[in-house]
């Protein structure tokens, strides 16, 4: 599916007939069916991936089959409606937040223009209030007295195949970034609405491959990429070879080392694909510089958790390896790399899902003595918190001039920013390693705009959608690119590193993407180094 040319797409966003440009829909939203065509949906999960997941203990992924959203018949189970309604009933009982979010929205519309998908597509059903309404209308019909008595007059409608298809369309045009929630006077968490929609769809076998294949890989090998232990080890060692070529310092990364003080877990993309590789080289250089007693794990070899994008059970199962490995290796605490959604899972769910991790200690930096009380329950520290603390105590020898080829800006990755409040630590690090500027105020910190491709939407067949939903972020980058010559978009998320690269290549050519730890690695002076002039830092090709 070819992506339209930039001129064409940008014109379409600002001039095309849509609610965002002032074209008022002529029909009631309930009467507008969804239409699937090549390019507006992510490919359905492959039959064998669904079968494999369904066969795994504790997981349920029924109705494996070959199907296409473009077909009229989605080959749903005969009793699909009963399954969906029972599934909703179960979740309303289980999750109080869902019940509250269904009941408390007053449809004030504060969220409407805060969503990057709405801004990029102008589709009214991408207003967060409407996205929730897709589910709320069914809730009203079957679970509230007003809806049962008054039906459509009370905003209720019956569950039909058309509604199910609409759910599939819009549950996969939301990245669970929670920017809308920041502006909601009631604090309705639209991510949770999307989570429930996706869970319900999985009950009848409706899901996408770009999510279920990583989930299946992660269940089998410990990471989304499907890197087996020997491959994982080879890849990290390959990066160590590159570092030796660049700096003259030989690093021997420890793997599965029992009794190490710290277990380090990061997204597997960091040890597989550019530009994440350079972030991973940054981690290696940092740990070497401070002589950290740590270990990589070839089992807990993934920080990310695409289970979060499917259902509660797979999220819990995939997450369990972190504490299990920490226990097996006998480490004191866990250090986590630059991943986005991983931190929502760790910060908000891990402790209650797979904890308490009472066999671990409250994390304490062996270099500075700082106790990370904020992680007293999860026992897991973010690499940016850890690095900022090292800098604050003067433990790193940094040469900012080694990043003189970079003029950076910082993209607050949605989950670290909004799901764990990591706002100042990355900025503190940047201040010490690189020349950088902020993007406009309403696009950073809590109000950060999503990359547009999170929650497993980073697949190529929906590239036009991704470029549309990423436009608000790209537009803010364009501003600092033009005004301050920014040439590097830094971030703390692996999905960002992959997707912002495509986004920049499309909207802002000349702006590259990196993790914060890459910039740290560039600037760090290692003992015994024989480093020449690296005019492109760790990316320099020798």
> Do 517 and 490 form a contact (C-beta atoms < 8 A)?
no
What is the pattern of x (binds other proteins, CB under 8 A) and - over residues 421-440?
Answer: --------------------
Measured CA to CA in angstroms, residue 387 lies from 289, 324, 393, 493 at distances of: 12, 25, 10, 16
Which residue in 298, 310, 319, 458 binds other proteins (CB under 8 A)? 458
Q: Which helix (H) or strand (E) holds 111?
A: none
* Among positions 497, 515, 520, 537, the unique one binding other proteins when judged by CB under 8 A: 497
> Of the candidates 283, 306, 410, 506, which one interacts with other proteins according to CB under 8 A?
306
Out of 210, 278, 294, 323, the residue judged to bind other proteins by CB under 8 A: 210
Q: Is 469 helix (H, G, I), strand (E, B) or coil?
A: helix
Determine which residue in the list 39, 226, 355, 421 makes contact with other proteins, applying CB under 8 A.
226
Q: Which helix (H) or strand (E) holds 388?
A: helix 383-392
Told to check if 213 binds other proteins by CB under 8 A, we report: yes
The residue among 34 and 273 lying less far from other proteins, judged by its C-beta, is: 273
105 forms part of the interface with other proteins (CB under 8 A): no
> Are 436 and 408 spatial neighbours (Cβ–Cβ below 8 Å)?
yes
* Alpha-helix residue ranges (DSSP H) falling in 485-542: 494-507, 516-523
* C-alpha to C-alpha distances, 413 to 134, 193, 445, nearest whole angstrom: 27, 20, 9
Binding region for other proteins (CB under 8 A) out of 13-21, 223-231, 243-251, 480-488: 223-231
We find the least distance from the C-beta atom of residue 271 to other proteins, in angstroms, to be: 8
How many CA atoms within 13 Å lie on the side-chain side of 137?
20
The minimum distance between CB 184 and other proteins, in angstroms, equals: 28
Q: Which stretch binds other proteins (CB under 8 A): 137-145, 211-219, 322-330, 381-389?
A: 211-219
Site for other proteins contains 275 (CB under 8 A): no
String of contacts with other proteins for each residue 233-272, x by CB under 8 A:
-xx--x---x------------------------xxx--x
Establish if 505 lies at the interface with other proteins (CB under 8 A): no
Q: Does 214 bind other proteins (CB under 8 A)?
A: yes
d(CA 195, CA 25): 28
Q: Which stretch binds other proteins (CB under 8 A): 157-165, 222-230, 483-491, 532-540?
A: 222-230
- Measured from the Cβ of residue 268, the count of other Cβ atoms closer than 10 Å reads 28
Only one residue has tokens 């697949």, namely: 459
The residues near 356 (Cβ < 8 Å, ≥ 6 apart) are: 377
Burial 404-417 (b: 16+ CB within 10 A, else e): ebbbbbbbbbbbbb
* Least CB distance to other proteins at residue 20 (A): 30
Measured distance CA(173)–CA(205) in Å, rounded: 18
> What tokens does 464 get?
């036009």
Q: What is the spatial distance between Cα 106 and Cα 188, in angstroms, rounded to a whole number?
A: 11
For residues 335 to 374, the per-residue mask of contacts with other proteins, x marking binding by CB under 8 A and - elsewhere, is ----x-----------------------------------
Per CB under 8 A, 224 contacts other proteins? yes
Is residue 462 close enough to count as binding other proteins by CB under 8 A? no
Among 79, 103, 158, 274, binds other proteins (CB under 8 A): 274
122 Cα distance to chain centroid: 23
Q: How far is the CB of 304 from other proteins (least distance, A)?
A: 6
For residue 417, state whether it binds other proteins (rule: CB under 8 A). Answer: no
Half-sphere exposure of 188 (CA within 13 A, CB side): 28
Q: Does 445 bind other proteins (CB under 8 A)?
A: no
CB of 360 closer than 8 Å to CB of 375? no
Q: Where are the beta strands (DSSP E) in 68-189?
A: none
Site for other proteins (CB under 8 A): which residue of 122, 155, 276, 337? 276
Does the footprint of other proteins cover residue 277 (CB under 8 A)?
yes
Q: Which two tokens stand for residue 311?
A: 């259902």
Site for other proteins in 21-60 (CB under 8 A): 43, 46
Contact residues for other proteins, defined by CB under 8 A = 43, 46, 66, 209-210, 213-214, 217, 223-228, 230-231, 234-235, 238, 242, 267-269, 272-274, 276-277, 304, 306, 339, 458, 460-461, 494-495, 497-498, 541
């Amino acid at each position: 599916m070819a992506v339209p040319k930039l001129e064409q797409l940008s014109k379409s966003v600002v001039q095309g007939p849509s609610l965002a440009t002032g074209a008022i829909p002529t029909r009631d939203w309930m009467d507008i069916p969804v239409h699937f065509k090549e390019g507006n949906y992510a490919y359905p999960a492959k039959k064998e991936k669904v079968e494999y997941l369904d066969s795994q203990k504790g997981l349920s992924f029924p109705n494996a089959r070959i199907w296409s959203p473009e077909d009229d018949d989605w080959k749903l189970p005969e009793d699909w409606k009963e399954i969906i309604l029972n599934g909703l009933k179960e979740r309303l009982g289980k999750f109080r937040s869902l019940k509250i979010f269904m009941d408390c929205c007053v449809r004030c519309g504060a969220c409407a223009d805060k969503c990057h998908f709405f801004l990029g597509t102008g589709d009214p059903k991408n207003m967060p209030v409407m996205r929730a309404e897709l589910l709320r209308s069914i809730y009203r019909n079957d679970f509230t007295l007003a809806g049962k008595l008054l039906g459509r007059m009370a905003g209720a409608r019956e569950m039909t195949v058309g509604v199910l298809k609409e759910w599939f369309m819009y549950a996969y045009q939301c990245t669970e970034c929670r920017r809308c929630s920041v502006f909601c006077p009631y604090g309705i968490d639209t991510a949770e609405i999307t989570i429930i929609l996706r869970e319900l769809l999985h009950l009848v076998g409706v899901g996408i491959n770009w999510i279920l294949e990583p989930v299946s890989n992660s269940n089998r090998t410990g990471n989304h990429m499907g890197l087996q232990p020997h491959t994982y080890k080879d890849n990290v060692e390959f990066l160590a070879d590159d570092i030796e070529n660049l700096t003259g310092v030989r690093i021997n990364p420890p793997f599965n080392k029992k009794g190490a003080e710290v277990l380090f877990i990061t997204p597997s993309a960091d040890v597989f694909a550019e530009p994440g590789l350079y972030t991973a080289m940054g981690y290696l250089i940092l740990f070497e510089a401070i002589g950290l007693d740590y270990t990589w794990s070839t089992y807990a070899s993934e920080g990310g958790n695409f289970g979060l994008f499917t259902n509660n059970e797979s999220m819990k199962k995939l997450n369990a390896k972190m504490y299990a490995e920490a226990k097996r290796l006998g480490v004191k605490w866990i250090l986590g790399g630059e991943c986005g959604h991983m931190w929502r899972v760790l910060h908000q769910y891990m402790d209650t899902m797979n904890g308490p991790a009472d066999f671990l200690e409250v994390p304490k930096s062996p270099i500075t003595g700082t106790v990370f009380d904020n992680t007293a329950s999860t026992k897991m520290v973010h690499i940016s918190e850890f690095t900022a603390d090292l800098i604050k105590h003067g433990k790193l020898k940094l040469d900012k001039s080694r990043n003189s080829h970079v003029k950076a800006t910082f993209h607050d990755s949605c989950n670290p920013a909004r799901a764990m409040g990591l706002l100042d630590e990355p900025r503190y690090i940047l201040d010490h390693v690189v020349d950088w500027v902020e993007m406009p105020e309403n696009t950073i910190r809590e109000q950060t705009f999503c990359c547009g491709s999170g929650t497993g939407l980073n697949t190529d067949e929906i590239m036009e959608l991704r470029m549309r939903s990423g436009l608000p972020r790209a537009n803010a980058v364009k501003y600092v690119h033009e005004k301050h010559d920014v040439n590097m978009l830094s971030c703390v998320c692996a999905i960002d590193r992959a997707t912002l690269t495509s986004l920049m290549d499309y909207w802002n050519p000349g702006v590259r993407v990196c993790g914060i730890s890459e910039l740290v690695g560039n600037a760090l002076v290692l003992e015994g180094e024989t480093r020449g002039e690296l005019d492109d830092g760790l990316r320099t090709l020798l």
